[in-house]
């Protein structure tokens, strides 16, 4: 198990290096520098700024400097937010996004699995059809449609929640639902299918033949196998939540990482964009590792390989 | 339970014996799937209306009428107008043209990359295959869309770049599927080489190999279209995609979301057009998969 | 009083392609300690019969249409509540299945699966249950049981898994063991060991056994009494030696003729012509008639009930019942 973790950790290093390199050179090949848009900057001031940020050095030196900084965990200064380092900006914004992502994932895992399990137990009844219809709907509706719709209905027409912001506990509700909806729907379908497959397995018949009660069969014999696919899905789901948070944070004006990233993109804040991309990549790779470990722990067959 | 499975197997055999080709068979099965047929008809009508929008759109998409401003749906403007007085129905039709074009073009890019990559990986096999598939695994775990945003930020918001960038995101599934198909076909080829019959070889290639790969590529190609359109809308919504005065459904939704307090129809109608298109495309894709995928023939 | 008395059991499956009558009026009884063999081709309804008794028929699409199955003279297995059934299942009636590779839960340790019957039926506390499970595992011939009991099923071979299944079935010392083709999925050498194991356990525990098989040979060396099933009905039932020495149904005779080992060397292999009937269509008359070389017009007219043709020997063949057919030995 430890060897597996170590091996996977080692694998992430070249991946991160490739990501860093790609990002860096994409930026360097870009037409137009970060200080081009400000019309007021004179050539002298521009040169001074470039010298300050090391942009006048040869590209390969900039590259190695950048990598050196990365190894030390330094993502460099932000081009647009004077006096702020990218690291500081990331760390100030990340907790907000993390909180939002956790709520969304929690909704997806609890509501999704529950709905899926209930539907699988009541297969081909109303209790099955209704949640599954909503699940199909939830999978097809993108966040940038559901988000504004939820704001319109619950924020504006009913007035139950603030249409935007991140100041009160109640401000978490609509964004978390918007972000979690797709994953709730997907998890519901996955867990329904997984449970139905397990119910058809011979070993469930064996358990019934032993006189095991219905609830124990569900709880002790079926859940692990039935929800394995849900665990596998958490990896891609986290990557998707990151992407989704860009939209949700923009719609609800939430001061999280996603909104910073989108704004940095508009502002051509190179170091900020690069830093965020690297941060996202690292985050997702580490989360995938975690999911893999949980999966191996859940499935005894994998544990011995 | 052997007993209930038996009659199913029998009807399957009867259908095969009736002498339909793979495609005729698939077509018959597809036609029985009402959701897929409904979705297909909807897409066709919408696509036709969108591509003929210069002819049939009631108004020009960019004619402003500031004096008129935003009006709710009326006899003159069926779906209302936006705050610049532009007719929403026309904008949705023109927007559909862009969204569908991006959908098709980017899907083509994804299919070409995916098929090439998958074929190479499956054909060479061995270490090349292991390495190439490991790369795909790693790419799968990366937030690709963030790189697309990066690309759009750096190289400007160019619609051709958009095709390429989105296509470059969505080829991963396709490459895996094509690789699997090529691998299994290689095995068939091996058996058939052992038979060493010249005539039958051509027959097998014609009857099995090409339909198999083509079928799979079509199915998964269809399933890529809605994903690609979603990605385009997502980027346009954030402001990294299609730029004004051109508008895709994503930009329309984005504009609608900004003014939904006063003019909710500006959000509702583009959202409806986009969502029902995604719905229909998904139904068509799933229907095609069920109809063509022989292996998935469950009862 | 018999341990189990089944009367007119009918089980069908309601599928999209019609109603499949898998079991069509089966009646039999079983004494304590007796071994009953049920023989038939796949699809003849022998497994469904036993699954019906154990409440294991998936519903839907399955449905018990009629019948009673009195267990120990008190409980009707087909009519009692789930709770009542769960008191009997796994405690007084245990079952082992055809495929040991899929019948054990891959996500649970052998230990947890073995002690589950004891815990579920509150027959022992956990530490006591573990002790008994290890003893039982040793009894069925799993080496190093105390250690291996902590493994997962995939660490065991097929034969070993079937031993585990048997240990799990026997750990509560049931009155009846239903063995549904327990050796079909195993290698020939392992088959003999498993059969020997079941036979020995039966003698030690004094339980009754219903042994389902499509293999006449396996059944002959094992059972006190055998009944032959065809198309959801019992067509012949007799003590084992009678069933083999003097078959009283053409189907049984044909089955025996098609065992190569029982035929003289050099003789052409005997096969039963035709296919088993489609169970989703109503059958008129004797279901075997279309394949029967002795069938006459009367066979195709109406159903033939199972009747005693000799003491303890019942047959559902019209011509045998009317004394028009009789064989001694299968090779005739």
Task: For residue C43, give the nearest of B6, B8, B299 by CB distance.
Answer: B6
- Shared domain for C190 and C260, answered yes or no, is no
Cβ atoms within 10 Å of A13's Cβ, excluding its own: 9
- Shared domain for C181 and C258, answered yes or no, is no
- Shared domain for C262 and C144, answered yes or no, is no
**Domain residues of chain B, as ranges?**
22-52+87-291
For residue C237, being part of any structural domain is answered with no
Strand order in the sheet with C176-180: C93-96, C176-180, C208-213, C35-39, C225-230, C233-239, C313-315, C307-310
Residue-by-residue pLDDT tens, chain C, 332 positions:
888 899 899 998 888 777 888 888 899 989 888 899 999 888 888 889 999 988 888 877 888 888 888 888 888 888 888 888 888 898 899 999 888 888 898 888 999 999 988 888 888 888 989 999 998 888 888 888 888 998 888 888 888 888 899 889 888 888 999 998 888 877 788 788 888 888 888 888 889 999 998 888 788 878 889 999 998 889 999 998 888 888 888 888 888 887 777 667 777 777 777 778 887 777 788 888 888 888 888 888 888 888 888 888 888 888 878 777 777 765 54
Show the tokens assigned to B14: 């009867």
Nearest-CA distance C184 → chain B (Å): 15
For residue C243, being part of any structural domain is answered with no
Estimate the share of chain C in helix, then strand, then coil, as percent rounded to the nearest 5.
35, 25, 40
Q: Which residues, 6+ apart, have CB-to-CB distance to C322 below 8 Å?
A: none
A209 vs C165: CB contact, 8 Å cut-off? Answer: no
For residue C192, being part of any structural domain is answered with yes
> What average pLDDT score do residues A156-185 get?
87
Domain containing residue C23: CATH number: 3.40.50.300
Q: How confident is the model at residue B123 (pLDDT cuts 50, 70, 90)?
A: confident
Q: Is the pLDDT of residue B206 over 70?
A: no
Residue C330 near residue C247 (C-beta atoms within 8 A) = yes
Which residues numbered 255-284 in B keep a CB inside 8 Å of some CB on A?
256-257, 260-261, 264, 267, 271, 274-275, 278-279, 282
For residue C233, being part of any structural domain is answered with no
- Shared domain for C130 and C8, answered yes or no, is yes
Any CB–CB contact under 8 A between C82 and chain A?
Answer: yes
Own/partner contacts of A168-175, CB < 8 Å, gap of 24 or more, are: A171/A252, A172/A99, A172/A100, A172/A103, A174/A147, A174/A150, A174/A252, A175/A100, A175/A103, A175/A147, A175/A248, A175/A249, A175/A251, A175/A252, A175/A254
Residue A277 near residue A200 (C-beta atoms within 8 A) = no
For residue C332, being part of any structural domain is answered with no
Q: Which domain holds residue C50?
A: 4-223
- Shared domain for C73 and C33, answered yes or no, is yes
Q: Is the pLDDT of residue B201 over 60?
A: no
Give A211's contacts in chain C (Cβ within 8 Å). 85-91, 117, 120-121
Q: Phi/psi at B244 (nearest 5 deg)?
A: -60, 150
Show the tokens assigned to C153: 């099923």
ipTM of the complex: 0.84
Q: In the prediction, which pLDDT does A233 show?
A: 85
**Which domains occur in chain A, in start order?**
87-266 (1.10.3720.10)
- Shared domain for C22 and C128, answered yes or no, is yes
Task: For residue C103, give the nearest of A203, A224, A298 by CB distance.
Answer: A203
Rounded to an integer, what distance in angstroms lies between the CA atom of residue B132 and that of residue B122?
A: 9
- Chain centre to alpha carbon of residue B265: 27
- Shared domain for C19 and C158, answered yes or no, is yes
Give strand pairing partners of B155: none
Rounded to an integer, what distance in angstroms lies between the CA atom of residue A121 and that of residue A230?
A: 17
Rounded to an integer, what distance in angstroms lies between the CA atom of residue B218 and that of residue B30?
A: 14
Cβ atoms within 10 Å of C196's Cβ, excluding its own: 12
What pLDDT, in 10s, does the model give residues A227-280? 888 888 888 788 888 888 888 998 898 888 888 888 888 877 777 888 888 888
- The count of structural domains within chain C is 2
Q: Which residues, 6+ apart, have CB-to-CB distance to C181 below 8 Å?
A: C47, C97, C98, C212, C213, C214
- Shared domain for C151 and C67, answered yes or no, is yes
Q: Which of C101, C107, C116 to mutate to test the interface with A (most CBs of A within 10 A)?
A: C107
Strand order in the sheet with C18-30: C18-30, C4-15, C62-71, C75-76
* B22-52+87-291 fold: MetI-like fold (1.10.3720)
For residue C168, being part of any structural domain is answered with yes
Whether the bond into B226 is cis, omega within 30 of 0: no
Rounded to an integer, what distance in angstroms lies between the CA atom of residue C110 and that of residue B182?
A: 41
Rounded to an integer, what distance in angstroms lies between the CA atom of residue A212 and that of residue B72?
A: 63
Any CB–CB contact under 8 A between C16 and chain A?
Answer: no
Q: In the prediction, which pLDDT does A110 show?
A: 94
Rounded to an integer, what distance in angstroms lies between the CA atom of residue B253 and that of residue B272?
A: 10
Residue C123 near residue C146 (C-beta atoms within 8 A) = no
Bridge-based pairing of strands C307-310 and C313-315 is: antiparallel
Nearest-CA distance B161 → chain A (Å): 14
What pLDDT, in 10s, does the model give residues B128-177? 888 888 888 777 767 777 878 877 777 776 778 888 888 888 888 888 88
What pLDDT, in 10s, does the model give residues B229-244? 888 888 888 888 777 7
Whether the bond into C310 is cis, omega within 30 of 0: no
Q: In the prediction, which pLDDT does B248 show?
A: 84
- Shared domain for C173 and C273, answered yes or no, is no
- Shared domain for C112 and C189, answered yes or no, is yes
Nearest to A210 by CA among B266, B202, B22, C92: C92
> What's the mean per-residue pLDDT of chain A?
83
Show the tokens assigned to B210: 């090409």
Q: pTM higher than 0.90 for the full model?
A: no
What pLDDT, in 10s, does the model give residues A84-140? 888 888 888 899 999 999 999 999 999 999 999 999 888 878 888 888 888 888 887
Q: Which of A19, A246, A270 to mutate to test the interface with B (most CBs of B within 10 A)?
A: A246
Among C190, C223, C256, the domain boundary falls at C223
For residue C169, being part of any structural domain is answered with yes
Handedness of CA C230, C235, C239, C245 (dihedral sign): negative
Any CB–CB contact under 8 A between B185 and chain A?
Answer: no
C105 vs A211: CB contact, 8 Å cut-off? Answer: no
Rounded to an integer, what distance in angstroms lies between the CA atom of residue B297 and that of residue B26?
A: 11
- Shared domain for C207 and C283, answered yes or no, is no
Least confident of B81-95, B100-114, C76-90, C188-202: B81-95
Nearest-CA distance C55 → chain B (Å): 14
Cβ atoms within 10 Å of B207's Cβ, excluding its own: 13
Q: In the prediction, which pLDDT does A102 show?
A: 93
Helix, coil or strand: residue C166: helix
């Amino acid at each position: 198990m430890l060897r597996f973790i170590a091996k996977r950790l080692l694998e992430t290093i070249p991946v991160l290096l490739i990501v860093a390199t790609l990002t860096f050179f994409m930026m360097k090949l870009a037409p137009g520098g970060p200080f081009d848009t400000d019309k007021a900057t004179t050539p002298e001031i521009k040169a001074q700024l470039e010298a300050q940020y090391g942009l006048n050095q040869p590209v390969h030196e900039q590259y190695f400097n950048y990598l050196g900084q990365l190894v030390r965990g330094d993502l460099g200064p932000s081009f647009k937010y004077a006096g702020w380092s990218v690291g500081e900006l990331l760390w100030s914004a990340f907790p907000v996004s993390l909180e939002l992502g956790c709520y969304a994932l929690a909704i997806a895992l609890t509501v999704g699995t529950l709905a899926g399990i209930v539907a699988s137990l009541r297969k081909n009844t109303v209790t099955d059809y209704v949640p599954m219809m909503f699940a199909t709907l939830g999978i097809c509706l993108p966040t940038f449609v559901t988000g504004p719709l939820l704001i319109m209905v619950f924020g504006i027409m009913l007035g139950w929640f603030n249409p935007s912001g991140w100041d009160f506990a109640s401000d978490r509700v609509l964004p978390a639902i918007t972000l979690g909806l797709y994953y709730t729907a997907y998890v519901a379908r996955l867990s329904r299918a997984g449970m139905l497959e397990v119910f058809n397995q011979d070993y469930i018949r064996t358990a019934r033949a032993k006189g095991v009660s219905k609830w124990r069969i569900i709880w002790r014999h079926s859940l692990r196998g039935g929800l394995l696919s849900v665990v596998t899905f958490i990896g891609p789901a986290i990557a998707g939540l990151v992407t989704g948070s860009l939209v949700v944070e923009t719609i609800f004006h939430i001061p999280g990482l996603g909104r910073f990233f989108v704004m940095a993109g508009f502002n051509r804040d190179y170091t900020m964009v690069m830093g965020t991309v690297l941060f996202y990549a690292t985050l997702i790779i580490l989360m995938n590792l975690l999911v893999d470990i949980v999966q191996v722990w859940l499935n005894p067959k994998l544990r011995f390989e | 339970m052997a007993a209930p499975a038996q009659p199913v197997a029998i009807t399957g055999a009867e259908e095969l014996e009736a002498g339909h080709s793979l495609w005729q068979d698939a077509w018959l099965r597809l036609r029985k799937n009402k959701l897929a047929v409904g979705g297909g008809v909807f897409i066709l009508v919408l696509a036709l209306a969108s591509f003929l929008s210069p002819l049939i759109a009631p108004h020009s998409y960019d004619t402003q009428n500031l004096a008129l401003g935003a009006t709710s749906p009326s006899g003159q403007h069926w779906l209302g107008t936006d705050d610049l007085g532009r007719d929403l129905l026309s904008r949705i039709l023109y927007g559909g043209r862009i969204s569908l074009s991006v959908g098709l073009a980017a899907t083509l890019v994804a299919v070409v990359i995916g098929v090439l990559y998958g074929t190479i990986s499956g054909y060479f096999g061995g270490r090349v295959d292991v390495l190439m598939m490991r790369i795909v695994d790693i790419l799968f775990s990366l937030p690709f869309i963030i790189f697309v945003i990066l690309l759009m930020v750096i190289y400007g918001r160019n619609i051709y770049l958009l095709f390429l960038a989105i296509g470059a995101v969505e080829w991963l599934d396709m490459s895996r599927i094509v690789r699997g198909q090529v691998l299994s076909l290689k095995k068939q080829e091996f058996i058939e080489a052992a038979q060493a019959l010249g005539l039958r070889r051509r027959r097998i290639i014609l009857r099995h190999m090409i339909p198999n790969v083509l079928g799979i590529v079509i199915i998964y190609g269809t399933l890529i279209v809605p994903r690609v359109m979603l990605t385009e809308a997502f980027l346009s919504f954030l402001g990294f995609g299609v730029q004004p005065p051109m508008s895709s459904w994503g930009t329309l939704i984005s504009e609608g979301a900004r003014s939904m307090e006063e003019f909710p129809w500006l959000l509702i109608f583009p959202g409806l057009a986009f969502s029902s298109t995604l719905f229909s495309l998904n139904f068509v894709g799933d229907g095609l998969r069920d109809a063509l995928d022989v292996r998935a023939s469950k009862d | 009083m018999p341990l189990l008395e089944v009367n007119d059991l009918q089980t069908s499956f309601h599928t999209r392609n019609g109603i499949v009558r898998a079991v069509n009026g089966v009646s039999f009884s079983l004494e304590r300690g007796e071994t009953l063999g049920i023989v038939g081709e796949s699809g003849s309804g022998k497994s469904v019969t036993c699954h019906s008794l154990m409440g294991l028929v998936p519903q839907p699409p399955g449905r018990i249409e009629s019948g009673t199955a009195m267990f120990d003279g008190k409980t009707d297995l087909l009519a009692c509540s789930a709770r009542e059934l769960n008191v009997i299942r796994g405690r007084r009636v245990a079952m082992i299945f055809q495929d040991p590779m899929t019948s054990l839960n891959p996500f649970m340790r052998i230990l947890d699966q073995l002690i589950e019957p004891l815990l579920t039926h509150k027959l022992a506390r956990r530490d006591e249950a573990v002790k008994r499970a290890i003893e039982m595992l040793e009894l069925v011939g799993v080496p190093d049981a105390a250690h291996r009991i902590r493994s997962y099923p995939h660490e065991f071979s097929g034969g070993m898994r079937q031993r585990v299944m048997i240990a799990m079935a026997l750990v509560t010392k049931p009155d009846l063991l239903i063995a549904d083709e327990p050796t079909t999925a195993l290698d020939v050498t392992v088959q003999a060991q498993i059969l020997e194991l079941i036979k020995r356990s039966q003698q030690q525990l004094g339980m009754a056994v219903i042994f389902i098989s499509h293999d006449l040979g396996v059944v002959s060396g094992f059972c006190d009494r055998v009944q032959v099933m065809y198309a959801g009905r019992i067509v012949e039932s007799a003590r084992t030696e009678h069933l083999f020495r003097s078959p009283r149904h053409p189907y049984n005779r044909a089955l025996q003729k098609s065992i190569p080992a029982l035929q003289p060397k050099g003789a052409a292999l005997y096969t039963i012509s035709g296919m088993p009937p489609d169970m989703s269509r109503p059958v008129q008359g004797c279901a075997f008639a279309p394949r029967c070389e002795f069938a006459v017009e009367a066979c195709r007219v109406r159903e033939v009930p199972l009747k005693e043709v000799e003491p303890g020997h019942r047959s559902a063949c019209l011509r045998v019942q009317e004394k028009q057919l009789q064989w001694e030995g299968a090779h005739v």
